Amino acid sequence: MTIDELRERVRELLADHDPATTDRLEFLRARYDAGLAWVHYPVGHGGLGLDQSWHSEVERLLAEAGAPDNNPRAIGIGLGMAAPTILAFGTEDQKQRFLRPLWTGEEVWCQLFSEPGAGSDLAALATRAVPDGDGWRVNGQKVWTSSAHTARFAILVARTDPDVPKHRGLTYFLCDMTDPGVDVRPLRQITGEAEFNEVFLTDVWIPDTQRLGDVGQGWAVANATLNNERVAIGGREAPREGGMAGVVADVWRDRPELRTPALHDRLLSLWVESEVARLTGARLRQKLAQGQPGPEGAAMKLTFARLNQELSGLEVELLGEEGLRYESDRGWTMVRPDEVDFTGRDAGYRYLRAKGNSIEGGTSEILRNIVAERVLGLPGEHRVDKDVPWKEIPR
């Protein structure tokens, strides 16, 4: 297919489903069925098997026509983590069942990975899944679960064999969050909001048809998810001056009285670093589209967290007393947002929320280890529990 043929396919979609008169969900479903959801995905799964770089042209044409999007901020975990993992490891039935409603936003997804005793050391997780008829009975606790209060499904890693070393006894599941035994409780953050949750799983039954990958293959499947997550967080597509770099640059342009030579030097340095990160992210997304998410995503996510924190701090400094204001119209009442609107909020919120960037999606300390060992080839840390059965490891 040529780029002109792709544009013609977009025009046909718009002719058959006028955005001005077509129901939003009906339009999104039609877009998926036309292969225009994510053009680099396979035919039959919302794509056309094309280069990912062509996707921006589809987005441009649809935006110009006033077509609705799928609200990617609200379904980012599904788009950036669940979908590529299901595509890589799922059966054909699983792909047909889950990918379409995931992309249209009909079914929101969350991630049940971290636990109170297994955050940075994810492979130490203790949530157990034991065989039960044609499925698995799951018990345990997960934490730091974004969007669990709005999610229909979750990607879940549980321990199915405690008699082998921790990395080898894990299995990956797709968990229905509406099932009996799933208890979601809010975790209030420094922002006053509760976008995170802790999730308790009590005798939750998951059919074996919702197991992703082989039994015991959970660590390999989870790593594919995590590699995609790091690129989704740190290497997401953005225009020049997208994200915090643009926010701070706009403050600089609009408020000349705030400028000093020292602040100018800091802003210019961070702007250049942000542009380098943006272009590097474009290269990584091309690699991801070819099914090769690698450890380089750890470096992107690490850079994203640092830049977001430094830029949000610079914005607060630029604004002085104004930067200390924190949305007085909302107060400090706990709310449970459906999505994280980082750039659409005030400077006080951005400064506080950015503190979580170096924790979510893998802590910066762990990401530095990944970059050191898997990108730079430095020797790894000594791990005394690597070959010890999980049940024998002190906890």
* pLDDT tens by residue, 300-319: 888 889 999 999 999 998 88
Q: How does residue 190 score in pLDDT terms, banded at 50, 70 and 90?
A: confident
- Residue 183: which pLDDT band, with cuts at 50, 70 and 90? very high
Q: Reply yes or no on whether 229 is catalytic.
A: yes
**24-38, 148-162, 189-203: segment of lowest average pLDDT:** 189-203
Domain shared by 133 and 173, yes or no: yes
Residue 212 within any structural domain of the chain:
yes
- For the cut 80, the answer to whether the pLDDT of residue 340 exceeds it is no
Domain assignment of residue 210, yes or no: yes
The CATH number of residue 168's host domain is: 2.40.110.10
Task: Calculate the CA 58 to chain-centre distance.
Answer: 22
Query: Cα(291)–Cα(153) distance, rounded to whole angstroms?
Result: 23
**CB–CB of 231/281 below 8 Å?**
yes
Please check whether residue 391 lies inside any domain of the structure: no
- Alpha helix segments (H runs only) across the chain: 3-16, 24-33, 55-64, 76-77, 83-89, 92-104, 218-234, 244-254, 261-289, 296-319, 347-353, 364-370
> Over 80: is that where the pLDDT of 195 sits?
yes
Of 107, 193, 198, 229, the catalytic one is 229
Q: Are strands 153-159 and 109-112 parallel, antiparallel or unpaired?
A: parallel
370/227 same-domain check: yes
The confidence score (pLDDT) of residue 87 equals 95
Condensed to tens digits (0 to 9), the pLDDT of residues 150-176 reads: 999 999 999 999 999 999 999 999 999
Same domain, 234 and 370: yes
pLDDT digits (tens, 9 = 90+) for 67-126: 999 999 899 999 999 999 999 999 999 999 999 999 999 999 999 999 998 878 899 999
Written as six digits, the tokens of 361 are: 């999606």
Average pLDDT, the chain: 89
Based on C-alpha coordinates, what's the Rg of the chain? 22
Q: Are residues 197 and 246 in the same domain?
A: no
Q: In the chain, how many domains are there?
A: 3
d(CA 293, CA 226): 9
Q: Domain check: are 324 and 245 in the same one?
A: yes
Q: Which residues form the domain of 19?
A: 3-64
Which of 259-263, 287-291, 322-326 has the lowest average pLDDT?
287-291
Q: Are 1 and 50 in contact (CB under 8 A)?
A: yes
In a domain, 95, yes or no: no
